[in-house]
Structure 1
Amino acid sequence: MSATERRSLSGSLLGLALTLGAPPAHVEEVRAGVRDAADVLWEGLEGQQGWLLVFDNADDAAVLALGNTSVGDGSGWLRATRAGLIVVTSRIMDQSVWGRHGVVEPVLCLDAADGARMLQDLAPHAGTPAEAQALSRRLGSLPLGLHQAGVYLGSPFASERTFTVYLEALNDRFPRLMSSGGDPRSGVTHTWELSLDALAAQGRGQARPLLRVLSCYAPSADITSALLDPQVLSDSLGTTEMSVRSGLEALLSVGLLELGATPDTDEVTGVVVHPLVAAASRQHLDIHVTTAAARALRVATGRLRPDNPDDWPTWLRLLPHVLSLLSLPPATLSDEGLSATAWAVVSTCSALRWSGAWSAPEGLTRQALRQAELLGPDHEAVLCLRYQQALTALYQGHHADAESQLSGILTAQLDVLGPDHPATLATRHEAAHLLVEKGRLAEAETACRDVLRDQLRVLGPDHPETLATRHWLLRSVGERGRHAEAEAGYRDLLRTRIRVLGPEHPYTLMTYNNLALQIAYQGRFAEAEWTFNELLEARVRVFGSHHPYTLQARSNRASVVTQLGRGAEAEEELRSVLAIERQVLRTDHVNVLDARYELAQAIAAQGRHQEAEAELREVIDAERRVLGVEHHLVGDARLALGQALARQGRHEEAVVELRALLELQTRVLGPTAPRTAATRECLAAMETRGA
């Protein structure tokens, strides 16, 4: 029995009652309004055994009710029985609608393999099982979509004749391929509109724009509760919070949304949109819908902290939705929507970098800048996207790119935002940081002092950015050999960061790491090892074992272990570190090269000088390529190389290497710099032995 319309259903059921032996007079009394129609039908049904009665397409439950009764009370067309079985096919998944005698059985999607078999049954010549499975995954293995695709591909008149061609065509021709010229229920692009029409007829018209908004996010991925804030959505859609909640419940009740996975924390469960539901809904996007989605995303990201490890799992759950909004054509977004999406990307890039995914923001910023072009090059959000792009280059060790980008950003910020804007100061801070990484230590110290002076005036002494500049200033001081001065500064900065940020904030742990280095540089290796052990415990707790900062702490501790005479232990630790670093960083990243330098030192400490030499030569070649020939880290490796040569009895080669290094260091670092002095002393000792 078709249950799409009340009058025709009633006529069909009365005809069934006559077939089952109901007296014609009783049927006439029903039509006259003096006898209950369902009673007449059920007298016949209860007199039979083993029957099946199917009510098909009952998307409006009221069609199955009689008079003032509801479907679920069991007194209308649907009643509890032991004589047979009633099956109702419907989009309504709400158990309360069907009452205590009804059992809701969701008809789930197939898996990709079963979906592929369905496609091949319908279109046996359209491709291989693997190709069919790829199309099945793209269609979310939804039987309706699979059937429509299979029937189309099986037609001799189809333009697309293979699974692969059809899959590629979906991106550009989804409405044509997924529509139907016949019954709207059989067409993917139409079928869910029927459910939305039914909800609107029930006074829940807000479900339609809500679904449009949610379709802007990533299909098949949990749309977290952070994106479902009723207040934010109600403000954007011009309705009430209660209406938003009711609309979400309505979409769940007809299967247009599904509940997401239960979160591990106290967070409320999110929802999931099937990819075909999302694709069909995206055919109806407008700037009001996309702006609402972008605004909700910005609010959600704005409530999180990029530098808070507790928030990093939430950032990762939001990332697919950030990418989904970036896939929307710019023309479908208002300036507000473009701006909101851009700011969400800025925050997301920062969170990814803090969490250790240093390369991830590269593609993200590139997509966001392409989408945000309509805002103009001087828009503050665009400048901040460019800033995130520059930081990505910096953290990956692409120093020339980072320097060029930061210079251009700073020029624009000074013109648009002014010299005292926090974003301008942040760019100046990172430009000074970059000078430290490039080994231009005297310039770096001057630049850090200049920006620190302005940050103290504008932001105050306890602002995190002010404290970050103090950190890099002390790094430049320490790298220039003023270790006692750097140690005292780091101890003071550590106390301040603990007070302002907390003892296990990532910034605090960075200061603790550099304090330990200054202790080691002054030869207090046992104290340094104890400090690194404490730091490493905290970094594993905060970042996890595979974060670049955790691996860096392990490498630093290993260098101290070498100095304490435990070369074999240090070697084992460094090989373990390198195995992971090569997975999470580029093979020529400075952190990897630094760990390889420390590995060579550990090998040399065990007397394997030829093996240490080979490792050092590879490190020097890579560091020259990445950092430049004048960088002080290249000098450190060259000094170690000279020592390795001397320990093999190759004194002439060692003297030639160290004389060349001394000439370079004298010119670049100055004749009194500690690194220059160390090379001079080592060279003098070799020349004395040679004489």
Structure 2
Amino acid sequence: MLELLGSRLTAPDGHFQVLAGMGGAGKTTLALALAERAERQGRSVWWVSATEERSLLGSLLGLALSLGASPAHVEEARAGVRNAADVLWERLETERGWLLVFDNADDTDVLTFGNASARDGSGWLRATRAGLIVVTSRVRNQEDWGRHGVLVPVPCLDSAVGARVLQDLAPHAGSLGEAQALAERLGGLPLGLHQAGRYLGSPFALDRTFTSYMAALDDRFPLLMGQATDPRSGVTQTWELSLDSLAAQDRAHARPLLRTLSCFASSVDIASPLLDLQVLGDGLGMADISVRNGLEALLSVGLLELGATPDLDEVVSVAVHPLVAAASRQHLDVHVTTAAARAMRVATGRLRSDAPEDWPVWLRLLPHVRSLLRLPPAALDDGGVAAIAWAVVSSCSALRWSGAWSAPEALTRDALCQAESLGSHHEAVLCLRYQQALAALYQGRLAEAEPQLDDILTTQLSTLGPDHPATLATRHETAHLLVEQGRLAEAESACRYVLRDQLRVLGAEHPETLATRHWLLRAVGERGRYAEAEAGYRDLLQTRSRLLGPEHPYTLMTYNNLGLQLAYQRRFTEAELLYTELVATRLRVFGSQHPYTLQARSNRASVLTELGRGREAEEELRSVLETERRVLGADHVNALDARYELARAMIAQGRHREAEAELRAVVDAESRVLGPEHHLVGDARLALGKTLASQGRRDEAIAELRALVDLQTRTLGPANPRTVATRESLNAAETGGT
């Protein structure tokens, strides 16, 4: 097989090679051998892990950069503005004779880029004669790889070759025939042969011969797996024998430690937050030094693998092979699952959900949180379930702050299912439901979030009491929801009501108290009291900057809403300066695809329209809208607001017909999503009436504006600036003015 791959490396035929086989078959070892051969030939060799989409994207864009890609193009690719696969391939095609290995591509979705799957030949994997692409994967279906992929099956070894492997590793363990019998018994799986050989080659092995090893397998195999012909079973038993050997060497603590680590996601680095020696030791009832020795013991027998090279401020990470994890999970008990759950609870408790510098750590923990949610209920007690639930609550908060507004939905759904045993009134369950409601709220599904929050609040008031921080938080978000729904008078009253209790219970400078002040001022501003809102936001900005820092997400939210008040007062030059600074800061702190960054860009574009820079505003809004549709969905209120601002930019350039079509679509969508009486729908209807008048369609404009004035007078009041503006436009249309 190596010779075959070597020939294709020398003379690429335009196909990529897929080394496909079961776990432990030696696919990566084969690819490494090919890579070593290529390096000896002086070829460029690149190796990327294909286990996770985000890290794969980073690795391949890093490769593109090292090959001379434009840094600007790479950053645009990271932001989703430019096709990342094209950026890479523009550089790869200029090189010759290279080898690129995609290792552990066991999920072909990871190799999907945009709409291009692994089999399409237009994404990360493409036909080329510039070099050779090799993929290692468990996916053995040719259809999954398409016509540009050549499947190279990597089977298990025959017994003769397997015997040679065993004798290389344990030369004194028996004859060739005995080794061959054991190799056959292990099914020829290279990983199993390697584990068995290392065990038998150890001076501390209890079973020193191939025959005695096989006899021990026979004794324990049926009890463990129940099927003697299953090739994975031999591997599983081999790992158990390795643990037995460690126990005989006074390192029995390795077994529960492996069981605990196997509760986390397999083949994913278990990084330093989860490897706190004291926390693991406390959970397992052992000393710190025992945990350290246990980790070293597991590494020494190959039951753990070292993870990626850690950052300077992190300890080394480890990974558990999927087969090792699967075998270990068959021996779970409450003792080890509780230890794993507690380790996750402590790890998440040490992070801040609202700190951008912690968000990469949260992302590394997320696969392990999901893995804990898949633990069987029989292996958990209420303490473990509660610890996992609290870790999910914290993770959902971090995901929301980081801009992944849809991600908490699946987490909370799975966590609530797992936490049924705790009962509906358990505080952790209520907080999970709270996170579920916030997921709906932040995705703009307001009608769905409202009854959820109401029901949670009713339960909290009866179980936790009105002054409990969780109850106050739900009351705060209920008031926030009213603001989003456009029920501004109710929202202002609700904000003042909860603010009164927060001041008494939490204090004036508590972040949640300040958050309620933020939404109170938003309600005040939307009700037309712009100067009052501006003054309040300036005071809040000073407080948040002092307590949280000038670039904290909460502080930047205050900047954003201060800009709105300036724009409402037609102080567009001041607003443009503020938003220009805010966009730059949010890009640096949040990144280009965060909803808050996109929101600031949209607000700045709105101001540009008012300053007579309609074409510039339109270009910006089209870019924002494209990303918001992808990140948030076409019906999210932020995307609809960007469409409204886009229509205004068109009007500023005299393109009234285009703007009319866009505004009608916005009115229809916002009426469906927010309700026809929402003030944002009124904004779009006012713009529609004005553009109809500008087209000379006076009767249509008057009808639209007259209906809107009646609605706004009833919902906002006759003195609200929105009502006044509509009435002025109506008067102009009726008198033939502009």
User: Normalised by the shorter chain, which TM-score bucket?
Assistant: 0.7 to 0.9
Q: Is the 8 A contact 1:494 1:511 kept in 2?
A: yes
Change (3 A) 1:150 1:555: farther
**What CA distance in whole angstroms lies between the structure 1 residues aligned with 2:620 and 2:248?**
68
1:214 aligns to 2:283 (yes or no) = no
**What CA distance in whole angstroms lies between the structure 2 residues aligned with 1:257 and 1:451?**
51
Q: Corresponding residue for 1:406? A: 453
Q: How much does 1:269 deviate? A: 2.0
Q: Corresponding residue for 1:385? A: 432
1:608 aligns to 2:630 (yes or no) = no
**What CA distance in whole angstroms lies between the structure 2 residues aligned with 1:316 and 1:633?**
35
1:523 aligns to 2:570 (yes or no) = yes
Q: Is the 8 A contact 1:179 1:188 kept in 2?
A: no
Q: Corresponding residue for 1:554? A: 601
1:302 aligns to 2:349 (yes or no) = yes
Q: 1:587 aligns with which of 601, 620, 634?
A: 634
Q: Corresponding residue for 1:77? A: none
The one-letter code sitting in structure 1 at the alignment partner of 2:718 is P
The one-letter code sitting in structure 2 at the alignment partner of 1:335 is D
**What CA distance in whole angstroms lies between the structure 1 residues aligned with 2:369 and 2:137?**
30
Q: Is the 8 A contact 2:187 2:231 kept in 1?
A: no
Q: Corresponding residue for 1:42? A: none
Q: Corresponding residue for 2:495? A: 448
Question: For 1:464-543, what aligned pairs fall within 5 Å after superposition?
Answer: 464-543=511-590
**What CA distance in whole angstroms lies between the structure 2 residues aligned with 1:116 and 1:505?**
42
1:484-535 superposed Cα distances (whole Å, 9 cap, x missing partner)? 0000000000000011111000000000000011011101111110001111
1:567 aligns to 2:614 (yes or no) = yes
Q: Is the 8 A contact 1:175 1:189 kept in 2?
A: no
Q: How much does 1:330 deviate? A: 1.9
Q: Is the 8 A contact 1:319 1:348 kept in 2?
A: yes
The one-letter code sitting in structure 2 at the alignment partner of 1:520 is A
Q: Corresponding residue for 1:263? A: 310
Q: Corresponding residue for 2:114? A: none
Change (3 A) 1:444 1:147: farther
Please tell me the root mean square deviation across aligned C-alpha atoms, in Å: 2.8
Q: Is the 8 A contact 1:116 1:129 kept in 2?
A: no
The one-letter code sitting in structure 2 at the alignment partner of 1:198 is S
Q: Corresponding residue for 2:284? A: 237
Q: Corresponding residue for 1:254? A: 301
Q: Is the 8 A contact 2:225 2:233 kept in 1?
A: no
**What CA distance in whole angstroms lies between the structure 2 residues aligned with 1:142 and 1:444?**
67
Change (3 A) 1:179 1:254: farther
Q: How much does 1:150 deviate? A: 8.1
1:366 aligns to 2:413 (yes or no) = yes
**What CA distance in whole angstroms lies between the structure 2 residues aligned with 1:482 and 1:264?**
50
Change (3 A) 1:309 1:141: farther
Change (3 A) 1:251 1:551: same
Q: How much does 1:198 deviate? A: 0.8
**What CA distance in whole angstroms lies between the structure 1 residues aligned with 2:156 and 2:632?**
39
Change (3 A) 1:460 1:147: farther
Q: How much does 1:178 deviate? A: 6.5
1:666 aligns to 2:666 (yes or no) = no
The one-letter code sitting in structure 2 at the alignment partner of 1:353 is R
1:99-135 superposed Cα distances (whole Å, 9 cap, x missing partner)? xxxxxxxxxx988688779x98xxxxxx767599xxx
Question: For 1:74-223, what aligned pairs fall within 5 Å after superposition?
Answer: 130=144, 181=228, 187-223=234-270
Q: How much does 1:689 deviate? A: 1.2
Change (3 A) 1:382 1:147: farther
Q: Is the 8 A contact 2:307 2:316 kept in 1?
A: yes
The one-letter code sitting in structure 2 at the alignment partner of 1:356 is G
Q: Secondary structure at the match of 1:514?
A: helix
Q: Is the 8 A contact 2:308 2:317 kept in 1?
A: yes
Q: Corresponding residue for 2:480? A: 433
The one-letter code sitting in structure 2 at the alignment partner of 1:587 is A
Q: Which runs of 5+ in 1 are unaligned?
A: 1-108, 121-126, 153-173
Q: Corresponding residue for 2:371? A: 324
1:599 aligns to 2:646 (yes or no) = yes
Larger Rg: 1
**What CA distance in whole angstroms lies between the structure 2 residues aligned with 1:140 and 1:465?**
57
1:382-414 superposed Cα distances (whole Å, 9 cap, x missing partner)? 000000000000000110111000000000000
Q: Is the 8 A contact 2:262 2:329 kept in 1?
A: yes
Q: Is the 8 A contact 1:140 1:274 kept in 2?
A: no
Q: Which runs of 5+ in 2 are unaligned?
A: 1-102, 107-133, 163-182, 190-220
Q: How much does 1:538 deviate? A: 1.1
**Aligned-pair identity (%):** 73
Q: Which has the higher contact order (CA 8 A, sep 6+)?
A: 2
1:199-252 superposed Cα distances (whole Å, 9 cap, x missing partner)? 111110000000000000000000111111110111111110000000000000
**What CA distance in whole angstroms lies between the structure 2 residues aligned with 1:628 and 1:606?**
30
> Please, what TM-score do these two structures have when normalized by structure 2?
0.71
